[in-house]
């Protein structure tokens, strides 16, 4: 039996959230009503969601030794996640982001910085750090390191999921070892130069032979291609306060659902529900809920159906 259900290799960040009544016009001014320090980051937040869902979780990454780094580590320390291979880099600031949240819509704009001193080296990834889990989840940063982690997992029959939102140099070395690609809506189009998202997902899946190629669609839900068929899941309608971290929580729920053996439509529905719930509170992890709350939302909430995706998928 594996020691962990899932191990995540990738980013964490500490965000400064600035809440404004409405986003200002270019070169304009707008007063902000709140300033909040909040932990986040792609893989770290996904792992927190997995832990919230009752999984045995390990996180591998780097962290600064400044105040933002301490906020991040304090946050992760209270989740039950194994942090044995999180490196605190001396004299280095943690990754940070300034996130402007439009109070009228809940949408956010992100400005971020990651010091070079936080880079994770492939030599720091050993097989034992990966083979202790039933699944590996990665992002696209520190590409050589996550490529090594994915290769270790793939060669040991451990499924690999990836969260990627932009093109990284060398990412073509990662994709052959990925089983579940869950990208932003922009990535498949940018990677393939194919504007049709259905064709773009099909092209990526056929080229790299992954089990599932999927994309998140923000307010419109999510789309996946598996077993030669497209599955579309509309988003759940909630009172959206802040969209920060919605995608990260989606990925955590997706990993959980795959390990539970759910069919793809149910995987997407559950992941959409978890992401929607996170949008009902401030912060990247502000609204992470559990299985009961997600199922309750799935049972009663209105769906925001996008007709173009609905008519072309099953």
Q: What span, in angstroms and rounded, lies between the C-alpha atoms of 60 and 76?
A: 12
User: What pLDDT is attached to residue 61?
Assistant: 98
Assigned CATH class of 6-11+42-88+120-312: alpha beta
Q: How far, in Å, CA of 270 to CA of 262, rounded?
A: 10
Contact 285, 274 (CB under 8 A): no
Answer for the pair 275, 256: CB distance below 8 angstroms, yes or no. no
Three-class SS of residue 112?
A: strand
Q: What SS3 state is found at 170?
A: coil
Q: How many CB atoms lie within 10 A of CB 23?
A: 16
Q: Where exactly are the structural domains of the chain? A: 6-11+42-88+120-312
pLDDT for the residue 309 = 86
| Bridge partner list, 83 | none
Identify the three-state secondary structure at position 277. Answer: helix
**Rounded distance between C-alpha atoms, residue 21 and residue 161, angstroms:** 37
Q: What is the structure's pLDDT at 154? A: 98
Distance (Å, rounded) from C-alpha 222 to C-alpha 118?
32
Rounded to an integer, what distance in angstroms lies between the CA atom of residue 55 and that of residue 34? 34
As a whole number of angstroms, the distance between CA 267 and CA 168 comes to 27
The pLDDT of residue 1 is: 83
Q: Cα angle vertex 133, ends 296, 153, to 5°?
A: 115
The CA-CA-CA angle for residues 27, 36, 138, to 5°, reads 90
Evaluate whether 108 touches 22 at the Cβ level (below 8 Å).
Answer: no
User: Dihedral, CA atoms, 233, 236, 240, 245, nearest 10 degrees?
Assistant: -40
pLDDT for res 209: 96
Q: For residue 120, give Cα distances in angstroms to 62, 117, 167, 294.
A: 7, 9, 18, 34
What are the average pLDDT values for consecutive 10-residue runs of the chain, which has 314 residues?
Answer: 96 96 94 95 98 98 98 96 98 97 94 97 98 98 98 98 96 98 96 96 97 96 96 96 96 98 98 97 96 96 86 83
């Amino acid at each position: 039996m594996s020691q962990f259900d899932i191990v995540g290799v990738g980013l964490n960040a500490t965000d400064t959230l600035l809440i404004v009544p409405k986003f200002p016009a270019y070169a304009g001014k707008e007063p902000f009503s709140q300033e909040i320090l909040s932990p986040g980051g792609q893989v770290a937040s996904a792992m927190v969601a997995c832990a919230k869902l009752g999984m045995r979780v390990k996180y591998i990454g780097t962290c600064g030794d400044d105040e933002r780094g301490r906020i991040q580590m304090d946050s992760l320390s209270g989740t039950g996640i194994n942090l044995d291979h999180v490196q605190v880099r001396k004299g280095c600031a943690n990754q940070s982001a300034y996130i402007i949240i439009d109070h009228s819509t809940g949408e956010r704009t992100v400005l971020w910085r990651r010091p070079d001193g936080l880079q994770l080296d492939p030599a720091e990834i050993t097989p034992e750090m990966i083979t202790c889990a039933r699944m590996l989840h990665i992002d696209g940063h520190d590409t050589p390191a996550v490529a090594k982690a994915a290769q270790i997992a793939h060669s040991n029959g451990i499924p690999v999921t990836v969260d990627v939102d932009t093109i990284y140099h060398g990412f073509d070395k990662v994709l052959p070892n990925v089983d579940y690609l869950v990208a932003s809506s922009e990535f498949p189009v940018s990677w393939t130069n194919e504007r049709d998202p259905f064709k773009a997902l099909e092209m990526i899946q056929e080229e790299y032979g992954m089990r599932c190629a999927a994309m998140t669609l923000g307010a419109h839900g999510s789309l996946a291609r598996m077993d030669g068929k497209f599955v579309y899941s509309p988003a759940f309608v909630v009172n959206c306060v802040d969209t920060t971290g919605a995608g990260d929580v989606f990925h955590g729920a997706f990993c959980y659902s795959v390990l539970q053996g759910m069919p793809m439509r149910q995987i997407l529905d559950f992941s959409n529900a978890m992401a929607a719930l996170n949008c009902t509170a401030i912060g990247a992890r502000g609204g992470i809920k559990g299985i009961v709350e997600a199922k309750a939302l799935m049972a009663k909430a209105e769906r925001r159906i996008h007709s173009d995706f609905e008519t072309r998928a099953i």
